Chain A
Amino acid sequence: MLRDDIIEYSLDAHHSEEVGRKMRRKIWLVTLFLAVVTTVEVALGAYWKEWMPDSWNLVKWTFVVLTLVKATYIVMSFMHLGDERRNIRAIILLPYALFILYLVFIAIFESNYVHQIWVRFL
């Protein structure tokens, strides 16, 4: 059934062989990047403690940052969110980020408190 009052946005999604070649090149570059980051993470997890036993907190934050970098590349490049309009990008990312930042903040804050209670009364 074809209705002329509905715009088929899916039909916009076609591209030529030439554009496709560029996109595939980008896909493989992102892949290489993700593979390198994962390798670095595993190596850090396995060996950093032996190299520098006192800097485990720094490693943890390195892991968190690297994970966020990986997530950005997956969402923006593989899921093509970077190619969507700015308003849909904001609608998806902002409410989620707002809620999760609050949740993480409150979880860290409260778990510190609960930990102190356990230590004091256990």
Chain B
Amino acid sequence: MAGDASKALSNDVLWGGGRSPFSISYGKMMMWFFLVSDALTFSGLLTAYGFVRHSTTEVWPIGEEVFRALPGLTGSYPLIYVALMTAILIFSSVTMVLAVEAGHRMDKKGVIKWLFLTVIGGAFFVGSQAWEWSHFIHGGGGYITTNAGEKFWVHNDTHDTHDPANAPGFHLVKADERHYLVPAEGAHHLDHDASLKLWNERANYVDGANMIHNEYGPPQYANFFFFITGFHGFHVFSGVVINLIVLIMVIQGVMHRRGHYEMVEKVGLYWHFVDLVWVFVFTFFYLL
């Protein structure tokens, strides 16, 4: 942040040479330039997602139908987990801005406290994303298609996807083609023999998600999920690592000897940017 004094300078002085007309240090300016280029990358990815989703004629999955599980619980909690992840990331953004504020007062203890909490929040987010990926890849049982082109959801009590037909409670139910895991109107759960007959005559069994096909919808859906949240998750991961390095430097007193905590401010910019990107991913991938 530029000091108040530098704001009062006239244009002649500002652009007259010998000082930065922007009243900003080299490092912070370059961080901003990097963030703009990174923002263009993420915008490109989200726009590409929008393009595919808008132009496709296939049924596109709905966020709150696909993402509605919580770890260790059964039942439907649409988007609650993603909202929790968002809350964690926004909270760690808050602790980061508090670390920057403490740095401005040369309050070393304050910087250490808030930066440490930021690292913890970031680590929690990366862990949450790992769980979500695992859940997304594993899926909710999958579906089969028959030679006649009909689609049936596959159910069993143990969520076995390797050999579902031999798992306890195995049965099929005719699928509503427009909604994930929703039975077709008036369809009832088929009994074991009827299910087994359809299973043995199946044309295709799709379970979970990979780069080729997924049980949620068109292949591009999972591909965009993996690429966008993966690219963002990698940003979070590298942000946690960089925050950790700066935290260690702060503890060792490097910043204090330097006379300012600008390094905290610079990694702070990166960290807020990661949060900012997630706000957009949350809206455009999960909500819309």
Contact = CB atoms under 8 A, between A and B. Distances in A.
B234 interface: no
B93 A78 contact: yes
B227 interface: no
A46 B3 CA distance: 45
Interface in B21-60: 21-25, 27-29, 32-33, 36, 39-40, 43-44, 47-48, 50-52, 54-57
A104 B44 CA distance: 9
Nearest to A60: B288
B24 A110 contact: no
Contact of A10 (B79, B260, B272, B287): B260
Contact of A17 (B48, B105, B259): B105
Contacts of B282: 41, 67
Contacts, number: 182
Contacts of B91: 31
B33 to A, nearest CB: 8
Interface string A3-20: 001011111111111001
Interface size class of B (residues with CB under 8 A): 35 or more
B106 A14 contact: yes
Contacts of A107: 47-48, 50-51, 54
- The prevalent SS among residues of A at the interface is helix
A74 B57 contact: no
Interface stretch (B82-90, B144-152, B166-174, B198-206): B82-90
Interface stretch (B217-225, B246-254, B273-281): B273-281
A5 to B, nearest CB: 8
A55 interface: no
A103 B44 contact: yes
A108 interface: yes
Contacts of A14: 104-106, 260
A24 B98 contact: yes
Nearest to A41: B287
Nearest to A42: B83
Given A11-B259, A20-B105, A103 B279 contact: no
Of B1, B44, B64, B98, most A-chain CB atoms within 10 Å: B1
B97 interface: yes
B90 to A, nearest CB: 5
Interface string A36-66: 0011011001100000000000001001101
Interface of A: 5, 7-17, 20, 23-24, 27-28, 31, 34-35, 38-39, 41-42, 45-46, 60, 63-64, 66-67, 70-71, 74-75, 77-80, 83-85, 87-88, 91-92, 95-96, 99-100, 103-104, 107-108, 110-112, 114-115, 118-119, 122
20 contacts: A9-B24, A14-B105, A38-B83, A38-B90, A45-B79, A63-B287, A63-B288, A71-B276, A74-B93, A79-B272, A79-B276, A80-B100, A83-B1, A100-B40, A100-B43, A107-B47, A107-B48, A112-B55, A114-B51, A115-B56
Interface of B: 1-3, 5-7, 18-25, 27-29, 32-33, 36, 39-40, 43-44, 47-48, 50-52, 54-57, 63-64, 78-80, 83, 86-87, 90-91, 93-94, 96-98, 100-102, 104-106, 259-260, 262, 265, 268-269, 272-273, 275-276, 279-280, 282-284, 286-288
